[in-house]
Structure 1
Amino acid sequence: MKKLLLIIAFLALGLFAVVLVSIIKQLSQEEPIPQFEIRFRKGVSYSPKSLTSVADIDDFWEKAVVAGEAIRTGGDWVDFNKPGKISSVVVELAQRNRLVPVIEVNFFNQDSGRLLRPLNSANKTAYRDAAVAFAQKYQPPYFGMGVEIDTFYRAQTEEFDGFADLFSEVYDGVKAVSPQTQIFTTFQYERLQGLRGGLFGGTNDLTKNNWDLLEKFPKADLFAFTTYPGLIYKDPRDIPSDYYSRIKKHTSKPVAFTEMGWFSGRGIKGWESSEGEQARFVARFFELTEDLDLHLAIWLHLYQQTSAEPFGTMALFKTDGTPKAAWEVWLNASR
């Protein structure tokens, strides 16, 4: 899955800091925040070919406005609102390009599920203050707290209610300064259902699901999910017809997919894929979600961000800059 903490590591690069300074200079003339209308939007995560090249970043934005109407990014909750951080830069560039920014912040390691720092009173206050300050300045259309939060639950169950309480408190604080902001938390859709076999490395058991976690967030304006069915099924045609409509059995709230993807590489023995298979998943996804109250469908990568499979070949463009077959299907997909 897309690791928000990976972006933080890139931010440590001095060359990236130089690029950020260049971009920030372009934003010196403040533009009005566009009026936000709630409706379905496609989009991509912030994923230029290079995070250190102004030309590559410009190229990303040119393609992003073609790919859809939303752009997703995020970072460590403790300092994501600081000047020069990726969330602030991306939200300003998104608004300049008339795209809807989707901001997600995290407070635990997505691999291990363990807290980055204790959920004590001081840190909760810092999280709340950062979120409220960011919302007051940018009026973000979408703001998510916790990415694949079910991972955190399974790793530190005893801490989960503390986060649920924090979510409620921050929800009220953000709404007080930015009433239009749609606030959510994000679950990993496959593992939430109990599908933890395949390339996840565990076993599939739908009786060991975590659907009840949705009840912990009654204030949420919508529920968001990441979805990678290619880690469970070897062909998009194998995805059950009720795969996504199952959500409606557990909530009547609107839905967003803030990360989605299917790999196109042949590097995993027994799980070889192709560009054609990736393209078929795009079509299959929109077919299977047509009856959902869907706000967002955001593809994981425009350009490759890692070489590690299966996520290494989930991008819609090849490393040489040419589009994959899924790109055209994505552009033509509609609801």
Structure 2
Amino acid sequence: MRLERDLLRQYDLSLLFAIDPTDGAVQRTRVAGLPEGSDTEAGFLREDVQEALVAYAIYIATNYEPEYLAVGVEINMLRARAPGQFVGFLKAYAKVYDAVKSIRPETKVFPTFQLEDLLGRLTQEHPPQWGAIDAFQGRIDALAFSTYPYLSSSIRLVREIPEDYYTQLRERYIGEILISEAGYASASIEGHSWVGSEREQEEFLKMLLEQAEANGFSTVVWGAERDPAQSRQGGAAVLNDVGLRYSDGSDKLAWAVWQEWARRPLPVPAEGN
């Protein structure tokens, strides 16, 4: 842990640490990693599960000293698919937030949301569920989203992404906004509608970075530097080609875009900030 902190200071970096207690394999409808024989139906409603989450968050805040601490990843998916579990998670989250703030008030604490799912463009079609954000009112220090627009059934090409796709986030939240995870596949996959190519991936990355800058987002995190060495199977196969480089380390077109933006000088903070 000391090594990580030293490297962050050496390279003047900020640490974003995400605590992900839900099971992505089942669309985040249950707690992940419970001991065998545990009551998985109770999940976040269990007091011991809530307290375990609090204890882990305190450990991370104390030992890693993150600038950003995400507690709950793509948590709107839990709300939409297991509302009872979401109620339990909210109770646990409130405890975590208060505990972390009591020992490290400068750490920004927040959940992350899955944008395509929140907009009703993923596996469930529905009006935008902005209420998922409102549920954290008073205990959310930044607004963070993951975004994989190619997984939307209504988007086949980058040019089909609506113009207000990311600007609407700024309209909903005046504080700090982060893209906590983003991706776009550089290849198509059988059984899915998107048209994947290196050129499409490059076009999306340019668009995302330009939109982030125009709307004052503080951070953009890409989901993977490289494609996995071994292709994922099943539902996870849709993420096989989101890397900006191939598994052997050779570059895709989008890698040059990422390098160009990463090398730009940081903006000078306004006076008083």
State the TM-score, normalized to the length of structure 2: 0.81
- Once the two structures are superposed, residues 79-105 of structure 1 have per-residue CA deviations (whole angstroms, 9 ceiling, x without a partner) of xxxxxxxxxxx6665555543221111
Q: Does 1:195 align with 2:115?
A: no
Report the 3-state secondary structure (helix = DSSP H, G, I; strand = E; otherwise coil) of the residue aligned with 1:294: coil
What displacement does 1:225 show? 0.6
- Alpha-carbon distance in structure 1 between the residues aligned to 2:164 and 2:194: 23
- Contact kept? 1:186, 1:223, Cα under 8 Å: yes
- Alpha-carbon distance in structure 2 between the residues aligned to 1:106 and 1:236: 29
Q: Does 1:126 align with 2:70?
A: no
Aligned to 1:63: none
- Contact kept? 1:139, 1:180, Cα under 8 Å: no
What displacement does 1:274 show? 1.2
- Once the two structures are superposed, residues 3-35 of structure 1 have per-residue CA deviations (whole angstroms, 9 ceiling, x without a partner) of xxxxxxxxxxxxxxxxxxxxxxxx7xx46xxxx
Aligned to 1:175: 101
Aligned to 1:164: 90
Q: Does 1:258 align with 2:192?
A: no
User: Which amino acid in structure 1 is aligned with residue 246 of structure 2?
Assistant: K
What displacement does 1:140 show? 0.7
- Contact kept? 1:266, 1:274, Cα under 8 Å: yes
Aligned to 2:136: 217
User: Which amino acid in structure 2 is aligned with residue 271 of structure 1?
Assistant: W
- Alpha-carbon distance in structure 2 between the residues aligned to 1:320 and 1:140: 32
Aligned to 2:246: 318
Determine which of 162, 166, 172 is the counterpart of 1:240. 162
Number of aligned pairs? 242
What displacement does 1:260 show? 0.2
- Alpha-carbon distance in structure 1 between the residues aligned to 2:161 and 2:17: 29
Aligned to 2:79: 153
Structure 1 spans left out of the alignment, 5+ residues: 1-26, 32-89, 197-201
What displacement does 1:271 show? 2.9
Q: Does 1:331 align with 2:259?
A: yes
- Alpha-carbon distance in structure 2 between the residues aligned to 1:265 and 1:300: 16
Q: Does 1:142 align with 2:68?
A: yes
Aligned to 2:31: 115
Q: CA RMSD in A?
A: 2.2
Aligned to 1:300: 223
What displacement does 1:328 show? 0.7
Determine which of 79, 101, 106 is the counterpart of 2:15. 101
- Alpha-carbon distance in structure 2 between the residues aligned to 1:154 and 1:320: 39
User: Which amino acid in structure 2 is aligned with residue 168 of structure 1?
Assistant: A
User: Which amino acid in structure 1 is aligned with residue 231 of structure 2?
Assistant: S
What displacement does 1:253 show? 2.6
- Once the two structures are superposed, residues 254-284 of structure 1 have per-residue CA deviations (whole angstroms, 9 ceiling, x without a partner) of 2111110111013336533211111111111
- Alpha-carbon distance in structure 2 between the residues aligned to 1:190 and 1:160: 19
Distance 1:195 1:253, change over 3 A: same
Distance 1:323 1:242, change over 3 A: same
Aligned to 1:288: 211
- Alpha-carbon distance in structure 1 between the residues aligned to 2:213 and 2:174: 15
Report the 3-state secondary structure (helix = DSSP H, G, I; strand = E; otherwise coil) of the residue aligned with 2:70: strand
User: Which amino acid in structure 1 is aligned with residue 204 of structure 2?
Assistant: F
State the TM-score, normalized to the length of structure 1: 0.66
What displacement does 1:133 show? 2.2
Aligned to 1:56: none
- Contact kept? 2:157, 2:194, Cα under 8 Å: no
- Contact kept? 2:57, 2:96, Cα under 8 Å: yes
User: Which amino acid in structure 1 is aligned with residue 245 of structure 2?
Assistant: F
- Alpha-carbon distance in structure 1 between the residues aligned to 2:134 and 2:105: 23
- Alpha-carbon distance in structure 1 between the residues aligned to 2:109 and 2:216: 16
- Alpha-carbon distance in structure 1 between the residues aligned to 2:59 and 2:21: 17
- Contact kept? 1:228, 1:260, Cα under 8 Å: yes
Report the 3-state secondary structure (helix = DSSP H, G, I; strand = E; otherwise coil) of the residue aligned with 1:310: helix
User: Which amino acid in structure 2 is aligned with residue 109 of structure 1?
Assistant: D
- Contact kept? 1:241, 1:288, Cα under 8 Å: no
User: Which amino acid in structure 1 is aligned with residue 184 of structure 2?
Assistant: W
Name the % identity: 27
Report the 3-state secondary structure (helix = DSSP H, G, I; strand = E; otherwise coil) of the residue aligned with 2:188: coil
User: Which amino acid in structure 1 is aligned with residue 199 of structure 2?
Assistant: G
What displacement does 1:245 show? 1.0
Please list, as runs of the form range in 1=range in 2, the aligned pairs for 1:21-40 lying within 5 A after superposition. Answer: 30=2
